[in-house]
Amino acid sequence: MDRPDRVGRQQILKVHTRKVVLAADVKLEDVAALTPGFTGADLANLVNEAALVATRGGADRIGMNDFNVAIERIVAGLEKKNRLRNPREREIVAHHEMGHAFVAAALPGSDAVHKISIIPRGIGALGYTIQRPTEDRYLMTREELENKMAVLLGGRAAEHLVFGHLSTGAADDLAKVTDIARSMVTRFGMGAALGPVTYESEPTTFLGQAYGSRRLYAEETAREIDVAVRGIVEAQFHRAQAILVTNRALLADAAGLLLANETLSGVQLDDVLRRVGKEVGPRLAAAATA
Amino acid sequence: MDRPDRVGRQQILKVHTRKVVLAADVKLEDVAALTPGFTGADLANLVNEAALVATRGGADRIGMNDFNVAIERIVAGLEKKNRLRNPREREIVAHHEMGHAFVAAALPGSDAVHKISIIPRGIGALGYTIQRPTEDRYLMTREELENKMAVLLGGRAAEHLVFGHLSTGAADDLAKVTDIARSMVTRFGMGAALGPVTYESEPTTFLGQAYGSRRLYAEETAREIDVAVRGIVEAQFHRAQAILVTNRALLADAAGLLLANETLSGVQLDDVLRRVGKEVGPRLAAAATA
Amino acid sequence: MDRPDRVGRQQILKVHTRKVVLAADVKLEDVAALTPGFTGADLANLVNEAALVATRGGADRIGMNDFNVAIERIVAGLEKKNRLRNPREREIVAHHEMGHAFVAAALPGSDAVHKISIIPRGIGALGYTIQRPTEDRYLMTREELENKMAVLLGGRAAEHLVFGHLSTGAADDLAKVTDIARSMVTRFGMGAALGPVTYESEPTTFLGQAYGSRRLYAEETAREIDVAVRGIVEAQFHRAQAILVTNRALLADAAGLLLANETLSGVQLDDVLRRVGKEVGPRLAAAATA
Amino acid sequence: MDRPDRVGRQQILKVHTRKVVLAADVKLEDVAALTPGFTGADLANLVNEAALVATRGGADRIGMNDFNVAIERIVAGLEKKNRLRNPREREIVAHHEMGHAFVAAALPGSDAVHKISIIPRGIGALGYTIQRPTEDRYLMTREELENKMAVLLGGRAAEHLVFGHLSTGAADDLAKVTDIARSMVTRFGMGAALGPVTYESEPTTFLGQAYGSRRLYAEETAREIDVAVRGIVEAQFHRAQAILVTNRALLADAAGLLLANETLSGVQLDDVLRRVGKEVGPRLAAAATA
Amino acid sequence: MDRPDRVGRQQILKVHTRKVVLAADVKLEDVAALTPGFTGADLANLVNEAALVATRGGADRIGMNDFNVAIERIVAGLEKKNRLRNPREREIVAHHEMGHAFVAAALPGSDAVHKISIIPRGIGALGYTIQRPTEDRYLMTREELENKMAVLLGGRAAEHLVFGHLSTGAADDLAKVTDIARSMVTRFGMGAALGPVTYESEPTTFLGQAYGSRRLYAEETAREIDVAVRGIVEAQFHRAQAILVTNRALLADAAGLLLANETLSGVQLDDVLRRVGKEVGPRLAAAATA
Amino acid sequence: MDRPDRVGRQQILKVHTRKVVLAADVKLEDVAALTPGFTGADLANLVNEAALVATRGGADRIGMNDFNVAIERIVAGLEKKNRLRNPREREIVAHHEMGHAFVAAALPGSDAVHKISIIPRGIGALGYTIQRPTEDRYLMTREELENKMAVLLGGRAAEHLVFGHLSTGAADDLAKVTDIARSMVTRFGMGAALGPVTYESEPTTFLGQAYGSRRLYAEETAREIDVAVRGIVEAQFHRAQAILVTNRALLADAAGLLLANETLSGVQLDDVLRRVGKEVGPRLAAAATA
């Protein structure tokens, strides 16, 4: 399921075109640029297909046009197989992933982002943003959990800010955020209204589903939990939004760069994220004087 | 379960009558018109039955009357087997299916309808409307989900507009619409009052039924979800209604054409749907100025 | 479990008395009239028993008195086996079943009743009323579902009108009516207050019981559903009552005829039901002007 | 578990004393009176034991005193085995069972009581009252169900009236009464406030317990059902009380007679129950004028 | 698990010391007094251990000091095995058990206490109080059930009165009391507000747990049941308290006697309980005049 | 999973360096100080690694620098394996564990702490504090249960006091505290508002989860339980906080000592805890005068 980026595709093409004769107008860099979403196998197939096209046309070498024809055919096949994404979706995903990265960059205590990509990994995935935790955690403070939630909500916040829409692309992020917020309230005693009391145990799974944690608490308590969870999540969404509003122009540039490169890491990524303004909010101001 | 339309039946009759002698008064076109709902096997059976009727009558060729008698017998048998539909139902189904198609045609972002039929496929089905998505979706925005719901509700809206009734024919559409609306509220964070919080996980099935998603949220939250779901669905039903009211005369013509042909696709369908007025509502007006 | 009616019993008696000698005073028509509820086997047994009685009395042929003695013995045995019904119950059942038939006859869109009987079929059954649907249905409108409910409630309405009581005899009818009303509200979007939303899926059975449809909706929504269901059912009960009040005298006659004949069909039934006044209510008036 | 009454014990004693020599002072009638609760085996054992006592005392025949000594020993053993009931309990049970019988006798439509006993049958049972239904029922009216409940509550009403207490002895009666009242409200449409709607299906059992009838109705509806059930049961309890208050003196006599005889049936029972005043309440007055 | 009391230990010691030589200063009575909680096996072990100690010290007979050293060693071992109870706990248990006995003695209708002990029987048990029912019961009146509850609550009441604390020692008593009170309300029709209606059936167990009694009643009814149960239990706790307050001085003496003897029965116990003042409350006053 | 402390590591190093030649600058005490979290196997590995480093550098003995290089390499590997904790976490854990110990020391009736460590035992654990109960308990009073809860909450209270944060590190403590408080209210009759009534039985486990204790009580009762549990827990948290505030300076010193030594027991621990001020609150004042 792992697909190469543009540079990767150019290198793969170089390998597969070693034994064929290319016309002078063929630039593998351009072919790579035209084949986002192609796997290594797809690229090998492309070279064969282009050779066939050229042969049928009576040519003794593969021209750029042969590649164009072959690409068109393969894309049509791939589209049916559901593997390529339309440009609009790619644009949304680029902003979504960059949203995660920007919020992480703006929060001093947050783990650094070291790779970001719009090439999907796995079925149903959009893209991915990888944070390398500087160290493994035995315990996490409320502030660290809140930062983690803000980063997770950065994708949705970016989509909403740039496109004015809400999409299904944030469903997994919301599920993770809700799990964290719910644990804060029901297991870590971090919901002010609910006291240092445990309301739910860690679930035990049976048939692939949580079975264990029976709900003993009252309806009114359940509502207090819901209200507390919602309050925590909304506060973090607003933090994420505030960060992205502040860095809106930079976000557009960064998303453009990601769209062009599909994957960013190392120096290029550092260059972008270094310029993200750090969050200055009441919490941090307070923390600074503490 | 796939049944041919009138043209298809005529072609099938042509094949099955090759080895029999037909009287001069027999027009296969008319026989085809008299046998809606017949399968290929039913038509083969019809030719045999008509030949028997003719033979018993001492004739050396099959006349139109022999076909009429044979049709009558077979229809009685089929009626018992529950496979033919009465004219009133056919009329309702024609409007129902055309309702889906009209709403799809009126919504710019909606997938194009490329085939529509009142010939049922599968047990309990009414007819069908096939939309070809122009591309597969990795993510869907709230607007796209709303359009999808409006199209699904177009069938019920058409029945209600034209016949002034509500029928059981929309049950499947309502179930799909409710699933979408519920997911919007509980999984995609699109219910304004409920925040960017997940309330239900994707269900896991066991014994053919969803088992997994235990309800943890409070009663008051459950009511908020119900109210949000209902509000979303009703808004889309009103959109579908508004579109059909605007295109009422055209809807009547189109349903008549569908009744006559049983199945519409290609040029005929495009001719009809091209004339459906695009939706111009507050949402679209706002989108245009955004 | 299928028991013959009076005419059927007379014919069966004719068969079983072929090889015995009957006295001049024996009229098989009278014997048939005295043996409601007897099966074919019971009647064969009766002839044997009467022959034994006659033999013991020194007679060389079976007299009417011998039949009376034999009937008395067998009835005592059958009463113990719980197979005969007392006269009061027969009277109630006759009105109950005729109630169904009258409401069906009064509703123009309703399926025609073509047989009605007070001879129970199956354990715990009272009698039966058979409606032949003029055609099978792919979809049903709200009006058609309402008619179906009114017919089902006709039995209870008749009992209440004539005897001033409520009885357990309507339990099955109520269960069917409730199922229809509940589906109207929760699956067909026909409950005005609840919108075009699905609240329950078709149940999947496990261990002979519905397991699937988990209740996700809120308590307040559950109450809305209950109120809607109750409202729908009560409205149809009042329709059924109004029809029977209008036709009260005819109902008494018809029930008497049914009691005398045990089963009515064909011309006799048509004669009765033809005279039932059609419902003229606000709905129908409105429909007439639509 | 079936134990003989006094007359039965006397007859059994007569059999077992055939082969022994009795002293002149022994009256088997008295021995029978002293051995309530003895089974046939206990009585056989008693004769042997008394013979042993006499032999040890050097006597050549069994005197009344030998029987007294033997009875004492056996009773002590039986007491340990938990099979005899103390006099207070016997008195309570006599009034409890007679309470059932009196209410049945006072209600014209009720099945006749033809046997009543304070000898327990089965573990945990008190005594029993047997009503022979004059005929089996296919359907029961509300009035008949109400009468049945009143009879069931007659035991508790008698205990309360005579001893001023409530006891655990009525638990089974209450369970039966509640089942009837609940079915009236949830299955037979007899709860005025709840309409002709089914709220619960007949339960299906699994692992010896009802599993099937899931509760779909709302909390508020559940409360309506509870209130309706309670109202029905309390009304019948008051009917039972009123009947017993009216017949209080006769109840005391009848209970005394039952205590003395342990079991009543036939003429003795008819003599008592014939004198019970028929219920004259608003319902019956109304029924009389109907 | 059954451990001997002081007298029993002395007798056991006598047996085990038959074959050893004891010094003149050894009094088995004293050794018994020093070894509460020792089983027969522990005492056999003690004699061996003391012999070893004496031998190592070069003595030819076992002195009292040898016993002291051996006791110390064994107690240390037993302490680890969790079998001995500290003096504070013994004091609490003595008052707890005597509390049960005093309330039983004060209630005329209550079963007589014939043995009371602070030697635990079974894991987790405190001590025990045995009431011999004067006769087995087929039915129990509300008053008898209330007396039973008061006796069960006597332990907690004594702890609270004497030590001013609540402890976990009453958990089993509370569970039993709650079961009785709940059955009174839900199965015996003894909760005034809830009427002569059954709310719960006797539970059926599955996997060692009650599974059967599904809750059908409404939330408001559940609250009525809770309030009724709580009211009944609290009333009986107050009765128990009142009895113990009245007999406070005697309770202290009796607990001291029990601590010294560990187990009381026969004359000693009768001497104590005979002096407990009978309850004179409104109920009894009323009962006396009834 | 058991890891040695600094002293332990020094001894292990001494063993493993027997067969190698160490340079004069190597002090095993320093090496031990640099290797917190190393297991015995890690230390053996360290000596080998340092020897390799020295050999590659052409040296004939292992210098301190070789150890430094080797430690760096191994730490990098261990960090990946998630076994070492960062300094910030170690500091938090030291205060958390010392918080437990201080509260225990301040409560006269509490079990003595005899060992405290920041070396984790088992996956996910932080550190540990071991209290040796002076004796096993058959019963516990409310006061003893409250003390136990206060000690458990001491960790969270210390974190909050010193770092101003709440962390996930207290999750297990909260679960234990909630279990105790819930049992007090639902099983031991210690919740004033809920009376001496049992609301939940001890759970039976099935599939590793509690299955048994079905909730019978009403919603309003459930809320009373929640409020009572929360009140009990919060009161104990405040007690723990008050104790730590009073001893804040000492807590800082003690945590520092624990950080330096990783594990404290014996004299060192006694020296610290002896100086903790005893709790003087309304409860104790009252108890003193009782």
Q: State what percent of residues in chain E have pLDDT above 70.
A: 82
Identify the active-site residue in D49, D91, D97, D146: D97
Q: Tell me how far apart the alpha carbons of residues E66 and F16 are, in angstroms, rounded to a whole number.
A: 49
Q: Identify the H or E element spanning B130.
A: strand B128-132
Distance from CA of A11 to the nearest CA of B (A): 28
Are residues D237 and E204 in contact, defined by beta-carbon separation less than 8 angstroms? Answer: no
Mutual angle of helices B87-106 and B142-163, in 10-degree steps: 150
Residue appearing with tokens 């001033």: C164
Q: Tell me how far apart the alpha carbons of residues B112 and B103 are, in angstroms, rounded to a whole number.
A: 10
Active site residue C97: yes
Return the higher-pLDDT residue of F4 and A155: A155
* Over residues F142-157, mean pLDDT: 95
* DSSP per residue, E137-191: -S--BHHHHHHHHHHHHHHHHHHHHHHS--BGGGHHHHHHHHHHHHHHHHTS---
Q: Can you list the alpha helix ranges (DSSP code H) found in chain E?
A: 6-16, 28-33, 40-56, 64-80, 87-106, 142-163, 171-186, 219-246, 248-261, 266-274, 282-289
CA distances from C231 to C99, C221, D190, D215, D217 (A): 21, 15, 16, 19, 14
Are residues D241 and D157 in contact, defined by beta-carbon separation less than 8 angstroms? Answer: yes
Are residues E158 and E98 in contact, defined by beta-carbon separation less than 8 angstroms? Answer: yes
Other Cβ atoms within 10 Å of D193 Cβ, number: 12
Interface test with E, best of F132, F139, F213 (most E CBs within 10 A): F139
pLDDT at B208: 37
Q: Tell me how far apart the alpha carbons of residues C160 and C248 are, in angstroms, rounded to a whole number.
A: 12
Minimal Cβ distance to E164: which of F198, F217, F290: F290
* DSSP per residue, B193-243: GG-S----PPPPEETTEE------S-HHHHHHHHHHHHHHHHHHHHHHHHH
Going by pLDDT thresholds of 50, 70 and 90, the confidence category of residue B210 is very low
Residue appearing with tokens 């539909």: B85
Whether F96 has a pLDDT exceeding 80, the answer reads: yes
Secondary structure (3-state) at C114: strand
Q: What DSSP character marks residue F113?
A: E
Q: Tell me how far apart the alpha carbons of residues F243 and F105 are, in angstroms, rounded to a whole number.
A: 10
Least confident piece of the model among C180-189, D274-283, F31-40, F203-212: F203-212
Whether F145 has a pLDDT exceeding 80, the answer reads: yes
Least confident piece of the model among A45-59, D156-170, F61-75, F162-176: F61-75
Q: Tell me how far apart the alpha carbons of residues A123 and B54 are, in angstroms, rounded to a whole number.
A: 63
Going by pLDDT thresholds of 50, 70 and 90, the confidence category of residue C125 is low
Whether E277 has a pLDDT exceeding 80, the answer reads: yes
* Over residues B72-80, mean pLDDT: 66
Minimal Cβ distance to E223: which of F136, F138, F220: F220
Instruction: Say whether A85 and B138 touch across the interface (CB within 8 A).
Output: yes
Who contacts A219 (Cβ-Cβ below 8 Å, separation ≥6)? B218, B219, F219, F222, F223
Distance from CA of B149 to the nearest CA of A (A): 15
Residue type, D21: V
Chains in contact with C, counting 3 or more C-beta pairs less than 8 Å apart as contact: B, D
CA angle (C249 as vertex; C246, C255 as ends), nearest 5: 115
Q: Tell me how far apart the alpha carbons of residues C187 and C229 are, in angstroms, rounded to a whole number.
A: 12
Q: Tell me how far apart the alpha carbons of residues C91 and E127 are, in angstroms, rounded to a whole number.
A: 70
pLDDT at E283: 58
* Over residues E28-33, mean pLDDT: 89
Q: Tell me how far apart the alpha carbons of residues B129 and B113 are, in angstroms, rounded to a whole number.
A: 7
What residues of F are in contact with residue A196 (Cβ under 8 Å)? Answer: 153, 156, 170, 174, 177, 233-234, 237
CA distances from E77 to D171, E33, E51 (A): 53, 19, 18
What residue ranges in D28-127 does DSSP mark as E strands?
112-117
What residues of F are in contact with residue A190 (Cβ under 8 Å)? Answer: 166
Interface of chain A against chain B, CB under 8 Å? 79, 82, 85-86, 89, 92-93, 120, 124, 126, 153, 156, 163-171, 174-175, 177-178, 181-182, 200, 207-210, 215, 219-220, 222-223, 225-226, 229-230, 233-234, 237
pLDDT digits (tens, 9 = 90+) for E206-237: 333 344 445 789 999 999 999 999 999 999 99
What residues of C are in contact with residue D218 (Cβ under 8 Å)? Answer: 219-220, 222-223, 225-226
CA distances from F12 to F17, F28, F31, F64, F74 (A): 9, 10, 11, 17, 17
Chains in contact with F, counting 3 or more C-beta pairs less than 8 Å apart as contact: A, E
Q: Identify the H or E element spanning B112.
A: strand B112-117
- Up-side HSE of residue E163: CA atoms within 13 Å toward CB? 23
Parallel/antiparallel/unpaired status of strands B209-210 and B205-206: antiparallel
Whether C135 has a pLDDT exceeding 60, the answer reads: no
pTM of full prediction above 0.90: no
pLDDT at C138: 65
Whether B136 has a pLDDT exceeding 50, the answer reads: no
Q: Tell me how far apart the alpha carbons of residues C100 and C74 are, in angstroms, rounded to a whole number.
A: 33
Q: Tell me how far apart the alpha carbons of residues F138 and E103 are, in angstroms, rounded to a whole number.
A: 24
Minimal Cβ distance to F196: which of E93, E156, E207: E156
What residues of B are in contact with residue C211 (Cβ under 8 Å)? Answer: 207, 209
- Up-side HSE of residue C140: CA atoms within 13 Å toward CB? 21
Identify the active-site residue in C49, C91, C97, C159: C97
Least confident piece of the model among A61-65, B214-218, C284-288, D59-63: C284-288
Going by pLDDT thresholds of 50, 70 and 90, the confidence category of residue A273 is very high
pLDDT at A112: 78
Count Cβ atoms within 10 A of the Cβ of residue C18 and give its class: 0-12 exposed, 13-18 middle, 19 or more buried: exposed
**Tokens representing residue E100 in the block:** 């049960």
Other Cβ atoms within 10 Å of E137 Cβ, number: 16
Are residues D194 and D227 in contact, defined by beta-carbon separation less than 8 angstroms? Answer: no
Minimal Cβ distance to F218: which of E79, E120, E226: E226
Secondary structure (3-state) at B37: coil
Who contacts D157 (Cβ-Cβ below 8 Å, separation ≥6)? D99, D103, D237, D240, D241, D243, D244
pLDDT at A290: 46
**Tokens representing residue F113 in the block:** 């702490």
Minimal Cβ distance to F166: which of A188, A199, A218: A188
- Up-side HSE of residue C117: CA atoms within 13 Å toward CB? 20
* Over residues A89-98, mean pLDDT: 92
Asked if A touches B (at least 3 Cβ pairs < 8 angstroms), the answer reads: yes
Minimal Cβ distance to F142: which of E79, E166, E229: E166
Dihedral sign for Cα C211, C216, C219, C224, please. Answer: negative
What residues of A are in contact with residue F220 (Cβ under 8 Å)? Answer: 218
What residues of F are in contact with residue A142 (Cβ under 8 Å)? Answer: 165-167
Q: Tell me how far apart the alpha carbons of residues B118 and B140 are, in angstroms, rounded to a whole number.
A: 30
Most confidently predicted of B10-14, D266-270, E244-248: E244-248
Instruction: Say whether D234 and E135 touch across the interface (CB within 8 A).
Output: no
Secondary structure (3-state) at A224: helix
Asked if E touches B (at least 3 Cβ pairs < 8 angstroms), the answer reads: no
Mutual angle of helices B248-261 and B87-106, in 10-degree steps: 130
Secondary structure (3-state) at E277: coil
Q: Tell me how far apart the alpha carbons of residues A257 and A244 are, in angstroms, rounded to a whole number.
A: 17
* Over residues B276-282, mean pLDDT: 79
Secondary structure (3-state) at E115: strand
Distance from CA of A268 to the nearest CA of F (A): 26
Per-residue pLDDT of chain D (290 residues; tens, 9 = 90+): 467 888 888 999 999 999 899 999 999 998 988 887 788 888 999 999 999 999 988 899 999 999 988 887 776 666 444 455 678 888 999 999 999 999 999 998 787 787 888 876 544 456 777 775 544 456 889 999 999 999 999 999 999 999 999 999 888 899 999 999 999 999 999 988 898 998 886 544 333 334 444 578 999 999 999 999 999 999 999 999 999 999 999 999 999 999 998 889 878 899 999 999 888 765 555 555 44
Whether B248 has a pLDDT exceeding 90, the answer reads: yes
* DSSP per residue, C135-204: S--S--BHHHHHHHHHHHHHHHHHHHHHHS--BGGGHHHHHHHHHHHHHHHHTS---GGG-S----PPPP
What residues of E are in contact with residue F198 (Cβ under 8 Å)? Answer: 171, 174-175, 177-178
Instruction: Say whether C141 and B163 touch across the interface (CB within 8 A).
Output: yes
Going by pLDDT thresholds of 50, 70 and 90, the confidence category of residue F88 is confident
Who contacts A271 (Cβ-Cβ below 8 Å, separation ≥6)? none
CA distances from E233 to B65, E144, E152, F228 (A): 91, 14, 10, 19
pLDDT digits (tens, 9 = 90+) for C143-159: 999 999 999 999 999 99
Distance from CA of C198 to the nearest CA of D (A): 15
Interface of chain D against chain C, CB under 8 Å? 135-143, 145, 187-190, 194-199, 201, 204, 206, 211-212, 214, 216-221, 290
Q: Identify the H or E element spanning A128.
A: strand A128-132
Instruction: Say whether A177 and B198 touch across the interface (CB within 8 A).
Output: yes
Q: Tell me how far apart the alpha carbons of residues C114 and C130 are, in angstroms, rounded to a whole number.
A: 6
Going by pLDDT thresholds of 50, 70 and 90, the confidence category of residue F208 is very low
Chains in contact with D, counting 3 or more C-beta pairs less than 8 Å apart as contact: C, E
Q: What Rg value do the Cα atoms of chain B yield, rounded?
A: 24
Distance from CA of A209 to the nearest CA of B (A): 6
Interface of chain E against chain D, CB under 8 Å? 135-143, 145, 187-190, 194-199, 201, 204, 206, 211-212, 214, 216-221, 290
Interface test with A, best of B111, B142, B144, B198 (most A CBs within 10 A): B198
Closest CA to E186 of C92, C126, A240, D171: D171
* Over residues C65-87, mean pLDDT: 72
Interface of chain D against chain E, CB under 8 Å? 79, 82, 85-86, 89, 92-93, 120, 124, 126, 153, 156, 163-171, 174-175, 177-178, 181-182, 200, 207-210, 215, 219-220, 222-223, 225-226, 229-230, 233-234, 237
Q: Tell me how far apart the alpha carbons of residues D160 and D175 are, in angstroms, rounded to a whole number.
A: 18
pLDDT digits (tens, 9 = 90+) for E36-83: 778 888 899 999 999 999 998 889 999 999 998 888 777 666 644 445
Instruction: Say whether E135 and D86 touch across the interface (CB within 8 A).
Output: yes
Comparing alpha-carbon positions, the chain C residue that sits nearest to D187 is C171
Minimal Cβ distance to E190: which of D164, D166, D207: D166
ipTM reported for the complex surpasses 0.90 = no
pLDDT at E68: 87
pLDDT digits (tens, 9 = 90+) for B78-123: 654 445 567 888 899 999 999 999 999 999 878 778 788 887 654 4
Asked if F touches E (at least 3 Cβ pairs < 8 angstroms), the answer reads: yes
CA distances from B141 to A85, A160, B144, B189, B197 (A): 15, 10, 5, 11, 17
Average pLDDT over all residues of chain F: 83
Q: Tell me how far apart the alpha carbons of residues A86 and A104 are, in angstroms, rounded to a whole number.
A: 28
pLDDT digits (tens, 9 = 90+) for E104-156: 999 987 877 878 888 765 444 567 777 755 444 568 899 999 999 999 999 99
Going by pLDDT thresholds of 50, 70 and 90, the confidence category of residue F214 is low
Mutual angle of helices D219-246 and C219-246, in 10-degree steps: 60
pLDDT digits (tens, 9 = 90+) for C163-214: 999 999 888 899 999 999 999 999 999 988 898 998 886 544 333 334 444 5
Closest CA to A274 of A111, A97, A112, A109: A112
Going by pLDDT thresholds of 50, 70 and 90, the confidence category of residue A286 is low
